Amino acid sequence: MAKNYEQLKQSFTMLNEMLEDSKKKEDLKVKADAKYQSLLDELEQIKGLRAETLEAKILGQATDGDLKKLDTKILTLEKDMAEVSEEFKIINSIQNKTLYQEHEIIRGFSEFLSAHREGDFLALENGLRAAKDAYMEKFHEYVQAIKDISELRGDIANYMDRKGMKNGRYNLPRFVQRGSKSIFVDPKHLKDNYLTY
């Protein structure tokens, strides 16, 4: 049996496939968003540079060719941004698409449970059943010991009553104090660990 949750999860192939698919789609979305932001930043920078170049042209320090180069760059960036926007829409549309349908996931998990039920979990259940049987055997011995000592205590108390020892019955020590948590399983412990039945 898997030693921890991560190992158990890795053994469920279908879940790993679904998680990997989701991660790939999320990575695509993050990359597309980063690319769009990078293009936007560059576009803002080029537009700022064009405004400066236009001012320089008016002052006779730049040419129409300089402006055309910047305009071409702006058009290219805007085209690239439009393409990324389309890609982003497609990526968003596939975010909720899954590799498997609901009934396939349910069936796959049921088969996964069955495989472990027949192997690792069955061995654990057998071990637990054996431990429970051993516990119940010892528990019955313990209960019988309490009954035997209580019966003996009763015989002593009866004898003391017959001999006029009126307080003897109350002064005799008990074998087990009721509610002793050092001896009996605390029901709250079972409840806290969802082991009640």
Output the DSSP codes for 53-115: HHHHHHTTSS-HHHHHHHHHHHHHHHHHHHHHHHHHHHHHHHTT--SS-HHHHHHHHHHHHHH
Where residue 168 falls among pLDDT bands split at 50, 70, 90? confident
**Which of 11, 80, 77, 31 lies closest to 50, judged by CA?**
77
List pLDDT tens digits, range 12-71.
899 999 999 999 999 999 999 999 999 999 999 999 999 999 999 998 898 999 999 999
Report residue 152 as tokens: 């003996």
Tokens of 191: 């409840």
d(CA 46, CA 73) in angstroms, rounded, equals 8
Domain edges within the chain: 11-97, 119-178
The average pLDDT across 142-158 equals 85
Q: What average pLDDT does the structure give for the chain?
A: 85
Buried b (16+ CB within 10 A) or exposed e, 145-166: eeeeeeeeeeeebeebeeeeee
Residue 192: per-residue pLDDT: 76
Local confidence band at 171 (pLDDT 50, 70, 90 cut-offs) = confident
Per residue in 178-195, pLDDT tens?
555 566 666 676 677 776
- The region of weakest confidence among 22-26, 52-56, 73-77, 143-147 is 143-147
Residue pair 87/31 in contact by the 8 Å Cβ criterion? no
Per-residue pLDDT, averaged over 137-149, amounts to 84
pLDDT of residue 2: 47
